[in-house]
Structure 1
Amino acid sequence: MGGFFYVPSWKRAPLEPLPPEGDEAHWVVFADEEEIGLRLVERLERAGRRITRVRSGERFEHLTDRAFTLRPDQPEDYAALVRALDTNAGPPARFVHALSLGGAREAQPGPGAFQDAQRRGAMSLLWLARALSKLPGGAHLVALASGLHDLTGRETLRPEHATLSGICRSIPLEYPHVRCRVIDLESASPDAAEVAPVVERILAEARSDAGAPVAAYRGPHRWVPTVEPVPLKAAQGAPPLLRERGVYLITGGLGGVGLWLADYLARTARARLILTGRSAPTDEQRLRLQALEQAGAEAVALRADVTDTAQMRAAAREAIDRFGALHGVIHAAGVAGGGLIDRLTADALDAELAPKALGALALDEIARSFQPDFVLLCSSVTALSGGLARAGYAAANAFLDAFAQVCARRGGPYTVSVNLDRWRNVGMAARAEARLLALGLDDVILDGMSPEEGQQAFHRVLSQAALPQVIVSARPLHGLPSDDEGAALARRLGAGNAAAAGRSLEPHGRSGAAAAGAAERPSPEAVTAQVTAIWARAFGIDPIDPGKDFFELGGESLLALQILNRVRETFQVELSLRDFFERPTVAALAERVQAARGQAPAAPEPALIALPRTARRLPGAGSAEPPARPDGQPVPSKGPKENG
């Protein structure tokens, strides 16, 4: 496993010289009263550019031909803005989002500061990208923030805004015509002499076609992220950070990854474990808990909301009252979430961000009080690649990476964020793998780590105590990781790139359909019957009500892709996911098929792999014999925020 490990790094990447720009470009700048935003607007106006300024406000308002206010966290305001932009000024091609330069600046971000940063930052950027995707010809979007990354060791870090990186890396995967780049400035309030050069750099970035979705400026130099391999040697026996019979708290401890890590601690150190989860253990989890005890561990399962500091403090106190100490914390909580940006809601985004981000803040408060030997944050390589239908997940993990850097600067318990590759058939990956298998993407499923390799990766990470971030990838990296799942989905759907899977799709076999124009068209009833059969096989439900909403049935993005792909192959028609989601029922989809078919005959229905809703694991996948008994006193839970 020596080649599995990398650390984040940066390389100088100056922009190529740009030709002089004409006056035809229309600029839209989202900025409140921060100096950089104001000076950017002044610079464009002084140059005679067509510019529209958008500020945050209490409601959407069209103030003048070139001035608007909107609510940063309300998607309908961005849709209204795009509709209202003056088309006579030419298509707005360049957008600069500077709302994240404002807001509270706290040395130690709390839940309130984090949530406000998302309202002005990640959430605002998602709703803007969704609205821009409707523009003919697309748009170029630059998001500004400061302190996202630790390059010099001296800049003020603002991890609450690091979610922008995950969002910006995900947007082009779903909207290929919306180019997005986040610019990490050295300071949101530079010295007076530095403001003008900073503004010129921003203007150059907004005009540039440079491909990197993340860039940072420190002084006059432009940097882009990369990775460097690092040899992590495995300790002989237990790693130095682990204690024999040590006491360890694992959030998400009843989830797939949490139980595998508990199994590792049981077998390596005969650990005493507090495993928190959002609900009481299932029968399957109780069996796995019994296996922990057989391996020499003691385990207590507690119900606790990882986002609630009081509940997590109670869980830590349970560890001390029962076992006399707290030696380590592993943050493995999270929710699978997922969903195309077109369907994402504010509540869904909050639910995806909260377990990881607010959970990390709650655990940090506990760590500062109880001083364990280490805090290990389970991040994901998706933070570095973005993800198709995983923008919120990428954002949440990007926060963990940035927060670990803050903890390293501050001192205290050793904190490390580990960007994990997929654990094959474990936890959240099991559900996605089942859908990928159903789409015929066996090659993607074979990527990632086996559970045993995941345990060995943790062994090596815990064998050192110097790195605040470690990237674990079963695939060799020659730069930042890529979203191979998204690319594979696009290939399977016949699209040219991952983004096309979330937008309109190329038709299959149109020439064949035209040649068969004289063939008899099936009746609307026959089309509805075939579409119903496809849905029934996909959901594992029979019969299905043709008027029942896809999401009420429990559908999610990969299942939508599966159904749409089968319908397209069966009827040889061109349909987009946007068409599907506008009216996501059997009846509406059958109507669209009938309208789109022309004279194309129905092809034999392709094989569809049934996926029972109660089973998320791949056929034949092994299950280890993980952890011990759920005999602890439950801590009252506020709600289902946590994986497990």
Structure 2
Amino acid sequence: MQIKQILSLIEEQQMSPDAGLELIRTYRKEQMEKKAEPESQAPSPTIFFKNDWVRKNNIDMPNQQAPGNMLIFDQDNRLFQHAEMMNGDHNRVILVTPDSDYRIERNRCTINPSDESHVEMLMSDLAENGFTPDVVLYLWNGEIREYTEESVNETLCRGINSLFLLSKALMRRNEPVTLLHIYWTRGLNQPFHEAVGGFMKTVNMESSKLKAKTIQIRHEYSDINPPVSEIWDAAISEIQRFQTDECEILIDSHTCYVKGLQPIDIPEHDHGSVTYQKGGIYIITGGAGKLGLLFAEHIAKENQAVIILTGRSVLTADQKERISKLNESGSIVEYQRTDITDRTEAERFIFGVKQRYGSINGIIHAAGILRDSFLVNKSLSDFTDVLKPKVYGTIWLDELTKDEDLDFFVLFSSFSAYGNAGQSDYAYANHFMDSFAMLRSQLSRNGKTLSINWPLLKDGGMSLDSNGINQIKEKYGMTPMRTSSVLEAFLKMLRSSFTSLMPAEGERDKMIKALSIQRNTVRQIKIHLRRNTMKKRNMLRKKKSMTI
């Protein structure tokens, strides 16, 4: 039985997700054993990828035909009224707005965004009334202006948490439906919304019936929302030319872009002067983990410094021994138990470091947890637990040190930011880090801002069994990065001009082919425009000859 068949059985509820995962592991193990080959020569030098916007191939707008029954999650009725006018006489449109109470009246509903029972009741009541959505538009997205506990909680509640519950309910229906998450920006990055791209990629990996993507509309006017006609046109366009590898779309001045990985070179002259100061004060969150301790040892080896490790767990004997050895090297290394996801605790921790040592020179945020399972089997509490270290932790660390004269602020993200089956929460959380790094850079904070999408590492990071490692090698050509390559790549990225990068080690050509987005290059776009210009000139010549 192949993986697609197993996923289909899970979707049709003929097999439990846990049993399916076990079968997938067995299948992968058998395939790897069949294709087992002797170890090849050492992997090629580290290659770097950048996740960036690339112009789409399809430049012409499709026909604006009605998409079918539509369910719209919005905070006002502007788009709903436009959709009723445009969607045809035989298709229904239903509006869902956020409220504390559950109500449903004809073509309007209200639900509590954080109440899973409301989402389930909505789907059940709509089905009883003969309504099956072909398209779901999700626009419960507000622009967050200040990062307070209340505003962050509310943004997550009406954003990804509610979208998670909706996606889960749609997947359980097991009927074909397109889900579009739509938001707009006015220049600055919106990490809460942009991170949905990682979540949507995972949804598409886990379901063959639910097709999902996110659309960002870049709007030039700061005081008003984009016209509903622009939102409608963007939605219809993406519905009609849906491609599973185009989960993140940007529309800017009627030009459409798709986000994807592209290989880049870090020029030798690009290596800046970021270094570890002698006597510098450095914080590493997730400091008791393999990756945290690896970088503590790295900093201590480069220069005598004060290294504050922090985490929520109690140290093991082995961890205590490693920290003790670091103190023998001349550096001061200590561990403080702190929940960096709690703003009060985070504030107390940062204040304590500054009070004791006077300043902070650099931060490496390496905290993270996993709760892997398919979305249909994942609880909201598990989902939010995974988000906390990378979302709340990133926000509070930045807020509490934004006025510090930092040399660097580094976020340890993951390859999972680009989507990974069983990790919809982890994909969102890491994608959030990538987008937040861009925002922090846009805000001109002190120090180098960098988010690193670490792939599998030989010594550190989130681990996989041998079957998972073999599967990634088979699919992408990637092998776990050696420790020497990790540290060398880190310094190279830290001293580069880039804000978000993914290093990788393995079969170079295979990685580029498997990971890079294949879209129009600048040269191809110029050729396309040149051909259109020539066509117009030929038409004008024909018209002139006819008039003569």
Q: TM-score, normalised by structure 2?
A: 0.77
AA aligned to 1:371 is D
AA aligned to 1:326 is I
Cα distance change of structure 1 residues 413 and 43 upon mapping to structure 2, 3 Å threshold: farther
* 8 A Cα contact 2:493 2:501, kept in partner: yes
Equivalent residues in 2 for 1:86-485 (5 A)? 86=127, 91-100=132-141, 103=142, 105-147=143-185, 155-187=187-219, 194-211=227-244, 212-232=246-266, 240-383=274-417, 385-414=418-447, 415-429=449-463, 432-433=464-465, 436=468, 447-464=479-496, 466-475=497-506, 476=508, 477-478=511-512, 481=515
Q: How far is 1:452 from its partner? A: 2.7
Cα distance change of structure 1 residues 479 and 395 upon mapping to structure 2, 3 Å threshold: farther
Q: How far is 1:270 from its partner? A: 2.6
* 8 A Cα contact 1:15 1:208, kept in partner: no
AA aligned to 1:276 is T
Cα distance change of structure 1 residues 90 and 280 upon mapping to structure 2, 3 Å threshold: closer
Could you tell me which runs of 5 or more consecutive residues in structure 2 were left unpaired when the two chains were aligned.
1-43, 517-548
* 8 A Cα contact 1:275 1:302, kept in partner: yes
Q: How far is 1:440 from its partner? A: 9.0
* 8 A Cα contact 1:167 1:395, kept in partner: yes
Q: Deviations over 1:110-135 (max 9, x none)?
A: 33322222221212222222211233
AA aligned to 1:175 is S
Cα distance change of structure 1 residues 20 and 45 upon mapping to structure 2, 3 Å threshold: closer
Q: Which residue of 2 aligns with 1:495?
A: none
Q: Deviations over 1:577-601 (max 9, x none)?
A: xxxxxxxxxxxxxxxxxxxxxxxxx
Q: Structure 2: how far apart are the matches of 1:114 and 1:16?
A: 39
AA aligned to 1:274 is I
**Count of residues in Structure 1 that have an aligned counterpart in Structure 2:** 465
Cα distance change of structure 1 residues 479 and 412 upon mapping to structure 2, 3 Å threshold: farther
Q: How far is 1:315 from its partner? A: 3.1
Q: How far is 1:364 from its partner? A: 0.7
Q: Which residue of 2 aligns with 1:54?
A: 96
Q: Structure 1: how far apart are the matches of 2:425 and 2:266?
A: 30
Q: How far is 1:45 from its partner? A: 5.5
Q: Structure 2: how far apart are the matches of 1:296 and 1:237?
A: 28
Cα distance change of structure 1 residues 420 and 467 upon mapping to structure 2, 3 Å threshold: same
* 8 A Cα contact 1:166 1:398, kept in partner: yes
AA aligned to 1:418 is I
Cα distance change of structure 1 residues 20 and 356 upon mapping to structure 2, 3 Å threshold: closer
Cα distance change of structure 1 residues 457 and 448 upon mapping to structure 2, 3 Å threshold: same
Higher mean C-alpha displacement, 249-258 vs 471-480: 471-480
Q: Deviations over 1:601-631 (max 9, x none)?
A: xxxxxxxxxxxxxxxxxxxxxxxxxxxxxxx
Cα distance change of structure 1 residues 28 and 320 upon mapping to structure 2, 3 Å threshold: closer
Q: 1:78 aligned to 119, 126, 134, which one?
A: 119
Q: Deviations over 1:163-219 (max 9, x none)?
A: 311211111111221100111122498858844233222222233323311101111
Cα distance change of structure 1 residues 193 and 244 upon mapping to structure 2, 3 Å threshold: closer
Q: Structure 1: how far apart are the matches of 2:89 and 2:243?
A: 24
Q: Structure 2: how far apart are the matches of 1:240 and 1:42?
A: 56
Q: Structure 2: how far apart are the matches of 1:156 and 1:270?
A: 38
Could you tell me which runs of 5 or more consecutive residues in structure 1 were left unpaired when the two chains were aligned.
148-153, 483-644
Q: Which residue of 1 aligns with 2:75?
A: 32
Q: Structure 2: how far apart are the matches of 1:302 and 1:192?
A: 46
* 8 A Cα contact 1:238 1:268, kept in partner: no
Q: 1:131 aligns to what SS in structure 2?
A: helix
Cα distance change of structure 1 residues 234 and 244 upon mapping to structure 2, 3 Å threshold: farther
Q: How far is 1:363 from its partner? A: 0.8
Q: Which residue of 2 aligns with 1:542?
A: none
Q: Which residue of 2 aligns with 1:566?
A: none
Cα distance change of structure 1 residues 303 and 134 upon mapping to structure 2, 3 Å threshold: closer
AA aligned to 1:57 is D
Cα distance change of structure 1 residues 406 and 441 upon mapping to structure 2, 3 Å threshold: closer
